[in-house]
């Protein structure tokens, strides 16, 4: 087995490595055609405009291209993020600033300066439940309803099995990319550790002629990227679970306070003790006490809180 350590430095995701480099411009063009129903064949017409210093969760996951007057931004996500529209708007602001400087456009004059049409696409391949295609709107985040007509959208394509099979059929590189990820997940479900799961998936894809040339040439890099991405996926899911647990703790503490407040002001020491408790089962037990006692002092005695005299 190839021994690959997880690299914690900023690095490309596999998606960006496959679809965002000069070496694999043909794959990039194939994905563009599949998304837009076009049939461009000359990779030299495509310009990569990716901003190189944009980082998300320690990894670069963005690809920006300019083709035939369309400025496209693609991002790959393994977690559902409702804030993609504002992130995309900020990214496009930098892209347009770059475009205006390079093309020496005078945006302070009286002549209307034409700019490329923006197209913002997010590719989702996480394990959460999501529709085949989702349109995220910036206006959903506005504090107040806007009557000015301003809008910014991110179109999210779910790449998981059974969601956008037609898109995958029209872009072989994208289909093969997802096949590799699906095999890694299937291996994990069968009980393999992450390193074994990635290694077995890469080897089986090579054996079956799936991205074979790419994987043979870049096996070490692909292994490292996959290990990092799946490690991050576990990390993000763990953070979500921790957040849900914290929410349950806070909710139970507040319900105890609501019961005790019927007997007067809750002492600061007791309030602090309840709020800092991280054992949910113990909080549930305390909640039962709070529902049965007839005073705050009786509650303190039940939970074993001893005050210095």
pTM score: 0.69
59-73, 155-169, 211-225: least confidently modelled range: 59-73
List CB contacts of 209: < 8 A, sequence separation 6 or more: none
Domain boundaries, the chain: 11-170, 244-303
Find the distance separating the first CA and the last CA of the chain, reported in whole Å.
66
Q: Order the strands of the 117-124 sheet from edge to edge.
A: 47-48, 62-67, 70-77, 117-124, 153-158, 133-137
pLDDT at 59 over 70: no
pLDDT at 237 over 60: no
The share of the chain scoring above pLDDT 90, in percent, equals 39
Position 245 scores a pLDDT of 56
Select from 236, 175, 185 the least CA-distant residue to 210. Answer: 175
DSSP, collapsed to helix, strand or coil, labels residue 190 as coil
If one compares 293 and 244, the residue with the highest pLDDT of the two is 293
Residue 235 and residue 190: Cα distance in Å, rounded?
Answer: 20
Q: Is the pLDDT of residue 38 over 60?
A: yes
pLDDT tens digits, 84-124? 999 999 889 989 998 999 999 999 999 999 999 999 999 99
Residue 308 CB neighbour total at 10 angstroms:
3
Which residues fall within 8 angstroms of residue 280, CB to CB, at 6 or more apart?
245, 248, 249, 252
């Amino acid at each position: 087995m190839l021994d690959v350590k997880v690299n914690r430095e900023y690095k490309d995701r596999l998606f960006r490595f496959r679809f965002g480099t000069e070496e694999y411009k043909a794959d990039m063009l194939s994905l563009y055609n599949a998304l837009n129903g076009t049939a461009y064949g000359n990779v030299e017409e495509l310009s990569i405009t990716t901003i190189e210093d944009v980082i998300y969760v320690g990894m670069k996951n963005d690809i920006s291209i300019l083709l035939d007057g369309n400025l496209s931004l693609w991002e790959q996500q393994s977690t559902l993020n409702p804030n993609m529209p504002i992130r995309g708007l900020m990214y496009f602001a930098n892209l347009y600033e770059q475009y205006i400087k390079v093309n020496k456009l005078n945006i302070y004059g009286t002549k209307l300066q034409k700019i490329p049409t923006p197209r913002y696409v997010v590719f989702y391949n996480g394990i959460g439940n999501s529709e085949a295609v989702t349109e995220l709107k910036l206006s959903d985040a506005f504090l107040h309803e806007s009557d000015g007509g301003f809008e910014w959208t991110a179109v999210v394509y779910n790449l998981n099995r059974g969601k956008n099979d037609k898109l995958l059929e029209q872009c072989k590189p994208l289909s093969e990319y997802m096949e590799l990820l699906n095999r890694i997940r299937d291996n994990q479900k069968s009980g393999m550790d992450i390193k074994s799961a990635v290694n077995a998936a890469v080897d089986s894809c090579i054996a079956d002629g799936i991205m074979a040339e790419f994987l043979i040439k870049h096996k070490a890099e692909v292994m490292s990227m996959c290990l990092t991405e799946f490690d991050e996926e576990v990390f993000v899911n763990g953070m979500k679970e921790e957040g849900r647990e914290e929410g349950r703790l806070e909710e139970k503490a507040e319900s105890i306070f609501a019961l005790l407040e019927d007997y007067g002001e809750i002492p600061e020491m007791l309030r602090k003790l309840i709020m800092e408790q991280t054992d949910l089962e113990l909080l549930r037990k305390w909640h039962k006490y709070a529902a049965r006692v007839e005073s705050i002092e009786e509650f303190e005695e039940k939970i074993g809180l001893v005050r210095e005299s």
